[in-house]
Amino acid sequence: MTIQSALTAAAVAGTLLMNVVSAGPTSAPDDLVRHHGQRQAGASSPTTATTAPLVFTQKTLSTNANTLLSAFGFESTDYFLNDDDIIGWNDPTSGYVVYVSTNTDNLVKSVSPTGVRVNTGAMSSWTDGDGVKHAGIKAVRLQSKASYGVGTVLIADVRHVPSEIGTWPALWLVQDEATWPNSGEFDLIEGWTYPSTWSTDQPMQSAVFSTLHTAPNVCTVPNPYGRPLNCNAGAGDEGCPFDGPANTFGAALNAKGGGTFAMAWTSAGIRAFFWPRATVKPWGSGAPASRITVDSTWDSAQYASWPFSKGVDSKGRAYNCVDPKLSQKMRIILNTDICGDVFPSAKTCESYVKARYSSWTDSHWDIAFLATYTQSV
């Protein structure tokens, strides 16, 4: 979920060892990952072997609306309109949304027996810095109250993601919107839904995108299918993305009952994991305990890795991400954007959504739990 500040919006809408081989469900070599209006050759999951177990202690566990809203706050359209760095914007990625500032519309609510539903709402409006009024659909953008850095595990058991045409849901981390991309960003769950009739280079998405965005000239990572991925590609807008396994996004994920995603961010790099609904997780069933251990039992679920190292891949091409400049802590964001910069035509998307949003039934998140952990010392 790439950030655009007002300064850039006009220009751009524990040790881990890396072995660069494919593992698990993969993309075809000529697949393309389309990210924020840019394209870069897609990559499957490099394999990472865990050589030393790492222990993490639970910081937050959200299993209903109350616990989610105790760990996260609303990042609203009003905030963006009045922010010194994003003045006049309803949404940094130009979505057809009005992000709410409170839960008065009950867009965040508990579900039985456990979990939380995050929904979209009714049509609303916002006024830009020139006094011009614009339409938008009420939506939720939550930002964690705590910040997270090296030594973080994020786990999300997701039963349903927004999959209506025109939605752009994401669970991601970012440090500072005003200095993006130099301050870094990592997207664990991201995708968008539009039909091939809107654009011929991106079919209906059924695999999640996970992406690292960094400053220029600080990070390239191995890519089994081509040149090493530049994590500042597209002036940071594209980053270095990996495809998730099949059926990890949109209607395809929802039809399978969802699954569990995780990110492990250590001094050795960032890893992304996915367990299908029926798969037994390393911690067992349900939400994990107050302490977890990331060890070799996690390896089979890994679908992507961004090693903080340098070397030469199997084709003799150098990569280097020793210092990706991610020293500042990031906040976690959960949001549903609508239309916006990733869609090939904002007008086409907005017209389509405006005519249909009132009958949407699949524009919501259904999250069994969202947990954060920090590395035990």
Write down the pLDDT at residue 132: 86
If one compares 51 and 38, the residue with the highest pLDDT of the two is 51
If one compares 236 and 162, the residue with the highest pLDDT of the two is 162
Write down the pLDDT at residue 49: 53
Beta carbons of 302 and 284 less than 8 angstroms apart: no
CA 244 to chain centroid: 12
- Listed in sequence order, the residues at least 6 apart from 315 whose beta carbon sits closer than 8 Å to its beta carbon are none
- Listed in sequence order, the residues at least 6 apart from 10 whose beta carbon sits closer than 8 Å to its beta carbon are none
> What is the spatial distance between Cα 170 and Cα 162, in angstroms, rounded to a whole number?
9
Q: What DSSP element (H or E) covers 326?
A: none
Percentage with pLDDT > 70 across the chain:
83
| Peptide bond just before 276 cis, omega within 30 deg | no
Residues 233-266 have pLDDT tens digits of 998 889 999 999 999 999 999 999 999 999 999 9
Write down the pLDDT at residue 183: 87
> What is the spatial distance between Cα 197 and Cα 183, in angstroms, rounded to a whole number?
36
CA 71 to chain centroid: 18
Residues 317-326 have pLDDT tens digits of 999 999 998 8
Cβ count near 73 (within 10 Å): 15
Write down the pLDDT at residue 82: 74
Strand pairing partners for 54? 294
Region 342-366 average pLDDT: 93
Write down the pLDDT at residue 177: 72
- DSSP one-letter string for 89-158: -SSTT--SEEE-SSSTT--EEE-SSS-EEE----EEEEE-TTS-EEEEEEE-EEEESS-B-SSEEEEEEE
> What is the spatial distance between Cα 261 and Cα 281, in angstroms, rounded to a whole number?
11
Q: What DSSP element (H or E) covers 253?
A: helix 250-255
Question: Dihedral (C-alpha) 232, 13, 252, 115: value to the nearest 10 degrees?
Answer: 90
For the ranges 24-33, 37-46, 208-217, the lowest mean pLDDT is seen at 24-33
Residues 106-136 have pLDDT tens digits of 999 999 999 999 999 999 998 887 888 889 9
If one compares 374 and 2, the residue with the highest pLDDT of the two is 374
Region 305-318 average pLDDT: 92
Can you read off the two tokens belonging to residue 202? 């991106």
Q: Is the pLDDT of residue 271 over 60?
A: yes
- Listed in sequence order, the residues at least 6 apart from 319 whose beta carbon sits closer than 8 Å to its beta carbon are 220, 221, 222, 228, 310, 311, 312, 313
Residues 171-217 have pLDDT tens digits of 999 987 777 888 899 999 999 998 878 865 555 789 999 999 999 99
What is the chain's mean pLDDT, rounded? 85
Most confident of 123-132, 311-320, 344-353, 364-373: 364-373
Region 88-104 average pLDDT: 88
Domains of the chain are 16-375 (2.60.120.200)
> What is the spatial distance between Cα 24 and Cα 303, in angstroms, rounded to a whole number?
7
Most confident of 33-37, 38-42, 201-205: 201-205
- Cα separation values, 41 from 27, 55, 196, 335, Å: 10, 35, 19, 26
Write down the pLDDT at residue 152: 97
Confidence at 360, pLDDT banded by 50, 70, 90: very high
Write down the pLDDT at residue 233: 92
Q: Is the pLDDT of residue 142 over 80?
A: yes
Most confident of 26-35, 70-79, 280-289: 280-289
Write down the pLDDT at residue 44: 53
- Listed in sequence order, the residues at least 6 apart from 312 whose beta carbon sits closer than 8 Å to its beta carbon are 318, 319
Cβ count near 156 (within 10 Å): 23
In one-letter notation, the amino acid at residue 136 is G
